[in-house]
Amino acid sequence: MANKLPLAKHLIRSVLVTGTNRGIGLELVRHFAKERRAGQDIKIISCSRTISPELEELLEDVYHFELELTRPADVASVAGVAANILEDRGLNVLINSAGILRMGQGVTGCSHEELKEVLDTNLIGVHSMTSAFHPLLKQAAPSAGVFNISAEIASIAGTNIANKTAYRISKAALNMLTKITAAEFRRDKIMALAIHPGWVQTDLGGPKAPLTPEQCVQDLVECIENCGRKDSGKFVKKGLVEIPY
């Protein structure tokens, strides 16, 4: 069964993660670096606005770029350098993990500036990354996928309160972008999923969250390694359980 999965562990030879200076993104890089040290033939590319001391400790196993996702020209430049790094293997896994949270409440409590700031990173930045790295994903297909870190509170069907307005809107739009990506990239045998990581002990999730970053990443990696063509375009959480859009 495992051999039929497009992104079974042994088929993942390259991965790019955004938002890697902290939180889930950092833990994803740490996970793949550990796999590399254990003997997996994998090239790891990390992108974040700044580099943290925790990320700096991993650089022996990682290619890192300080990248502002809201600048399309910078994204395109990194994609060009990444093509040289990855050579003939292309890009198996693109994980768009970078995201910001602002706390404006409802329509009247969320400013234009706040909404624009959050959309720029959580949506438009993901669009830039996905578009720029499409050729490298296509090169690695059929073992290739785009995995967008979403949030269950972005479910339109499940929304009945008006908090975290800009964040909810940005992630709901990200889910639509994921659906469109899956529809367009189907022709190239590239999958796309939106994944809810759970409530995690990060700067965004806070210390009361039930999941550690390590537990969260274990769940995310299991989703990536066990998803199949039938899952492309879905909004899922742990165990590939589908969430209503």
Please write the tens of the pLDDT for every residue from 15-53. Answer: 999 999 999 999 999 999 999 999 999 999 999 999 999
Q: Are 61 and 33 within 8 A, CB to CB?
A: yes
Q: What is the pLDDT of residue 108?
A: 95
Report d(CA 74, CA 47) in Å as an integer: 11
pLDDT of 100 over the 70 cut: yes
Q: What share of the chain is helix, strand, coil (3-state, %, to 5)?
A: 50, 15, 35
2 pLDDT exceeds 80?
A: no
Residue 21 CA: distances (Å) to CA of 56, 57, 217:
9, 11, 15
Average pLDDT across the chain, whole number: 95
**Mean pLDDT along residues 107-115:** 95
Summarised one tens digit per residue, pLDDT across range 196-240 is 999 888 877 788 888 999 999 999 999 999 999 999 999 999 999
| pLDDT on residue 203 | 78
**pLDDT score of 207:** 84
Tens digit of each residue's pLDDT (9 = 90 or more) over 143-167: 999 999 999 999 999 999 999 999 9
d(C-alpha 245, C-alpha 225), whole Å:
23
pLDDT at 1 over 80: no
Sequence-ordered list of residues with C-beta below 8 angstroms from that of 202, at least 6 positions apart, any chain = 22, 23, 24, 209, 213
Rounded to two decimals, the pTM is: 0.95
pLDDT at 47: 98
Res. 3: pLDDT tops 60? no
Tokens representing 233?
Answer: 């375009």
What pLDDT shows up at residue 4?
62
